């Protein structure tokens, strides 16, 4: 006991509770936390020991409950326990409230109910325990918050021309449905997914509005790109408005949800394909491309692609007219298959290059088609009409030449090649035109030397230079035609060699005998 203080007495007092808030302004269309503080200015009417003075000035088991009362607000948090509140200030856990979007600007008084227990007096003495006189109290107090006169924003409409796998525009229209203008306003649009990006791949983009009066709309354009693998679904973006209020204070609106659904990917189909291809020949690959939409494609070009070195395309691009959705355009490519190719089934690929609605050049996915390379065949069939020649004579060899291909040929020049004992002083022939399946006769002068072996077969080689319908000139392979040498026929009567020889010798002997006899007789005269 402190000197001079009585060993018995009564301490009288009570807590003095007030509720304050540091949340003085709220914005329409938001969910806001009210930050409350309990202030206890405890009143002491009769003092005494310190522990008893603290007892009578402390609120115990204090709880608060915020009510909506006559306000337009919605209170989201129920009764909150604070506990023991001594003299001074004690914070309260935040109270969540919802401010409707259409609330009128102005001041609103929100009722707060405070309940607690306390001790009004303590009787004490030196020999026994103190006696407490406890009471409970519940009061309703009011805090005031203000809904500002301010700019307020809402999303009115969203449109897009952007397709999956392409770049397009997004238009976002917002309204300032607040009570004050927004100055130097900008709308920031954010994408939470990498399937949708802005400009050169950024996750956000800002569009400038400027001064934005109450009750007016503003439309902001953005360039967006959807990834090739993006799903065809609704996407959620976030828009915030950054601006200055009428007091020149920089403010940022609450985030606004912006819904966006891309346009389906531009696609094409390959229809009615036809390929006439054969190893060692020129042919065609034709078909139609169908614009399956959803947009019109301008300046479409069918581009032929092949990695096979044995496939040669004269021009790998075929221009079409503008294709509206559902329209088709026909194409045809001249394709040459080299002699080194195999007679197999191959895959040809074409793509469509076109300009989209933004006039950007785009290319479709590959359109694939299986084609068959037919086996190689001879361009000509060459047959000898007369297949025999006579040794030691000159013969006209008649060759029947047939066009085995599918195209008419012009200026078919035949050239024959022979080796000893065969020779020719006229080994060329010309056929002006030769339709598919048509035959013509080519004449070749053929001489056979006397050393040719009778009944032996010798080859005559011949090839052709010719012009195709497209003006190209080609040389055929070499064809071999067999000819057989027949012996020369002998004409008139002929004696056997031995009798003629003996007879001649006998005549010569008789003449010599007569001459010798005459010579001796003369000498004897």
367 & 394 share domain: no
Contact (Cβ atoms closer than 8 angstroms) between residue 48 and residue 9: yes
Asked which of 112, 147, 182 is the last residue of a domain, the reply is 147
Q: What angle do CA 399, 402, 404 make, to 5 degrees?
A: 145
Whether the pLDDT of residue 498 is over 50: the answer is no
213 & 275 share domain: no
Q: Domain total for the chain?
A: 4
CB neighbour class for 310 (10 Å; exposed up to 12, middle 13-18, buried from 19):
middle
What's the confidence (pLDDT) of residue 158?
93
Task: Round the average pLDDT of the chain to a whole number and report it.
Answer: 86
CA distance 68 to 111: 7
Give the pLDDT confidence of 173-191 residue by residue, as tens digits: 999 988 889 999 999 999 9
301 & 338 share domain: yes
Is 521 inside a domain boundary?
Answer: no
**Confidence class of residue 6 from pLDDT cuts 50, 70 and 90?**
low
Whether the pLDDT of residue 229 is over 80: the answer is yes
**Confidence class of residue 397 from pLDDT cuts 50, 70 and 90?**
confident
Of 3-7, 55-59, 389-393, 478-482, the one with minimum mean pLDDT is 3-7
32 & 101 share domain: yes
**pLDDT over 90 for what percent of the chain?**
46
313 & 253 share domain: no
| Average pLDDT of the segment spanning 479-501 | 62
Give the pLDDT confidence of 274-326 residue by residue, as tens digits: 998 888 888 899 999 999 988 899 999 999 988 888 899 988 999 999 999 99
388 & 319 share domain: no
What's the confidence (pLDDT) of residue 102?
81
Asked which of 321, 342, 372 is the last residue of a domain, the reply is 372
CATH code of the domain covering residue 354: 2.60.40.10
Whether the pLDDT of residue 111 is over 90: the answer is yes
Q: Which of 352, 172, 328 is nearest to 265 (CA)?
A: 352
Is 124 inside a domain boundary?
Answer: yes
14 & 138 share domain: yes
Whether the pLDDT of residue 72 is over 90: the answer is yes
Of 218-222, 286-290, 480-484, the one with minimum mean pLDDT is 480-484
| Average pLDDT of the segment spanning 31-42 | 94
| Average pLDDT of the segment spanning 214-233 | 90
392 & 474 share domain: yes
Give the pLDDT confidence of 314-357 residue by residue, as tens digits: 889 999 999 999 999 999 999 988 888 888 888 899 999 999 88
| CB-CB neighbours of 78 under 10 Å | 8
Name the strand (E) or helix (H) holding 200.
none
Q: Which two tokens stand for residue 244?
A: 């200055």
195 & 134 share domain: no
Whether the pLDDT of residue 98 is over 50: the answer is yes
Residues forming a β-bridge with 444: 397
Check residue 488 and report its DSSP letter: P
What's the confidence (pLDDT) of residue 15?
95
Is 39 inside a domain boundary?
Answer: yes
| Average pLDDT of the segment spanning 76-88 | 95
Whether the pLDDT of residue 172 is over 60: the answer is yes
Q: Which of 210, 208, 370, 352 is nearest to 277 (CA)?
A: 370
Is 80 inside a domain boundary?
Answer: yes
More confident residue, 246 or 75: 75
Whether the pLDDT of residue 38 is over 90: the answer is yes
What's the confidence (pLDDT) of residue 303?
95
CA distance 517 to 525: 13
| CB-CB neighbours of 348 under 10 Å | 24
What's the confidence (pLDDT) of residue 504?
35
27 & 140 share domain: yes
Residues forming a β-bridge with 167: 225
**pLDDT over 70 for what percent of the chain?**
92
Give the pLDDT confidence of 403-424 residue by residue, as tens digits: 888 789 999 999 888 888 888 8
Domain of 451 in residue numbering reads as 380-486
């Amino acid at each position: 006991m402190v000197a001079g203080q009585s060993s018995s007495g009564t301490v009288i007092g009570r807590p003095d509770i007030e509720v304050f808030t540091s949340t003085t302004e709220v914005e329409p269309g938001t969910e806001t936390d009210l930050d409350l503080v309990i202030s206890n200015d405890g009143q002491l009417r009769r003092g005494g020991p310190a522990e008893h003075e603290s007892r009578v000035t402390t609120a115990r088991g204090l709880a608060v409950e915020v009510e909506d009362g006559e306000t337009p607000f919605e209170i989201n948090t129920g009764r909150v326990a604070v506990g023991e509140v001594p003299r001074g200030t004690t914070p309260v856990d935040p109270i969540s409230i919802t401010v409707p979007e259409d609330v009128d600007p102005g001041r609103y008084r929100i009722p707060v109910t405070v309940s607690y227990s306390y001790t009004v007096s303590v009787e004490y003495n030196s020999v026994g325990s103190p006696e407490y006189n406890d009471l409970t109290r519940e009061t309703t107090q009011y805090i005031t918050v203000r809904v500002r006169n301010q700019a307020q924003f809402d999303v009115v409409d969203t449109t897009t021309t952007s397709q999956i796998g392409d770049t397009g525009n997004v238009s976002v229209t917002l309204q300032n449905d607040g009570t004050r203008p927004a100055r130097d306003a900008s709308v920031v649009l954010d994408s939470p997914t990498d399937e949708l990006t802005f400009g050169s791949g950024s996750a956000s983009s800002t569009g400038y509005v400027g001064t934005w009066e109450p009750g007016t709309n503003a439309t902001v354009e953005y360039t967006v790109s959807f990834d090739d693998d993006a799903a065809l679904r609704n996407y959620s973006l976030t828009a915030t408005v950054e601006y200055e209020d009428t007091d020149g204070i920089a403010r940022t609106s609450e985030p606004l949800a912006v819904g966006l659904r891309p346009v389906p990917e531009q696609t094409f189909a390959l229809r009615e394909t036809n390929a006439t291809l054969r190893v060692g020949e020129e042919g065609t690959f034709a078909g139609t491309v169908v614009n399956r939409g959803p947009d019109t494609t301008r300046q479409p070009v069918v581009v032929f692609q092949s990695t096979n070195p044995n496939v040669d395309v004269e021009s790998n691009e075929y221009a079409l007219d503008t294709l509206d959705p559902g329209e088709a355009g026909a194409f045809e490519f001249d394709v040459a298959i080299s002699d080194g190719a195999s007679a197999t089934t191959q895959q040809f690929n074409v793509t469509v290059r076109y300009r989209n609605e933004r006039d950007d050049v785009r290319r479709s996915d590959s359109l694939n088609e299986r084609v068959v390379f037919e086996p190689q065949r001879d361009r000509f069939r060459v047959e000898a009409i007369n297949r025999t020649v006579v040794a030691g004579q000159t013969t006209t060899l008649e060759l029947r030449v047939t066009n085995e291909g599918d195209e008419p040929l012009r200026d078919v020049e035949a050239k024959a090649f022979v080796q000893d004992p065969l020779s020719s002083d006229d080994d060329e022939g010309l056929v002006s035109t030769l339709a598919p399946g048509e035959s013509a006769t080519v004449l070749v002068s053929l001489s056979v030397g006397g050393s040719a072996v009778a009944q032996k077969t010798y080859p005559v080689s011949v090839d052709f230079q010719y012009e195709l319908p497209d003006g190209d000139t080609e040389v055929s392979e070499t064809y071999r035609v067999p000819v057989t040498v027949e012996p020369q026929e002998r004409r008139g009567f002929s004696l056997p060699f031995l009798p003629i020889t003996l007879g001649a010798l006998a005549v010569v002997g008789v003449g010599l005998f007569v001459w010798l006899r005459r010579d001796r007789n003369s000498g004897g005269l």
